[in-house]
Amino acid sequence: MWETSSFSGGLCINGVLYYTAVSDSVQMLICFDFRSEKYSFVKPPPERNLKMEKLINFQGKLASVRSRIFDSEESLSLEILILKDPKKHEWAIRIFNLPPMWKDGAAGKYLDVVGVTATNELVLSPRFPSYLYYYNFVSEDISRVDIRGIGAFEKEPRAHVILNHVEDAKIMELF
């Protein structure tokens, strides 16, 4: 029996829905093309556990990154697995060096990968988010954004971070 991963969720890129599935010790990336209404399957590299990784849209290509990052002296880089050719099951690894601010600002914290924004920034969030980190893949800079107004009524406030959400498109006309 196949089981889908709750970490990776699913991700749609250019009309193809990607999600991971695991059966015993076998893991597979399942692809569903909405245009052709056909399934295909991609084998991940054997050394990677996609069940524990977050699927992201990296510059229009499917990629994965560890779903939880613990910042420590050793974690000074971010490794992303990018699907280069789904038909040939070809993957590439790209490593990004994290700036010194990473070590100073996020030291000793667990951060979850939320996803990638439309402006190509990786968003990281702590479990009880009162702030978010944005990592820019192009400039390799990281910035922290504090969230105000949550948690005034709870000891451990919970918030769900949703990327690229627009409440009302009419608001966009004002800018």
pLDDT tens track for 79-97: 899 999 999 999 999 988 7
pLDDT of residue 174: 53
Residue 100 scores a pLDDT above 90: no
Q: Are 144 and 135 in contact (CB under 8 A)?
A: no
Q: Tell me the per-residue pLDDT of 21-75, one tens digit each, with 9 for 90 and over.
A: 887 778 889 999 999 999 999 998 888 887 778 899 999 999 988 766 655 555 6
Phi and psi, residue 133, nearest 5°: -110, 140
Taking phi over 0 as left and psi of -120 to 50 as alpha, with beta for the rest, 172 belongs to: alpha
Mean pLDDT value of segment 150-164 = 65
5 falls in which pLDDT band (50, 70, 90)? low
Rg, Å, the chain Cα set = 17
d(CA 62, CA 132): 23
Cα torsion 94, 110, 48, 10: sign? negative
Q: Are 111 and 68 in contact (CB under 8 A)?
A: yes
Residue 156 scores a pLDDT above 70: no
Q: Tell me the per-residue pLDDT of 106-139, one tens digit each, with 9 for 90 and over.
A: 556 677 888 888 888 988 888 777 788 888 888 8
36 or 99, which is more confident: 36
Q: Are 65 and 53 in contact (CB under 8 A)?
A: yes
18 falls in which pLDDT band (50, 70, 90)? very high
Residue 153 scores a pLDDT above 60: no
Closest CA to 91 of 124, 61, 134, 135: 61
Residue 17 scores a pLDDT above 90: yes
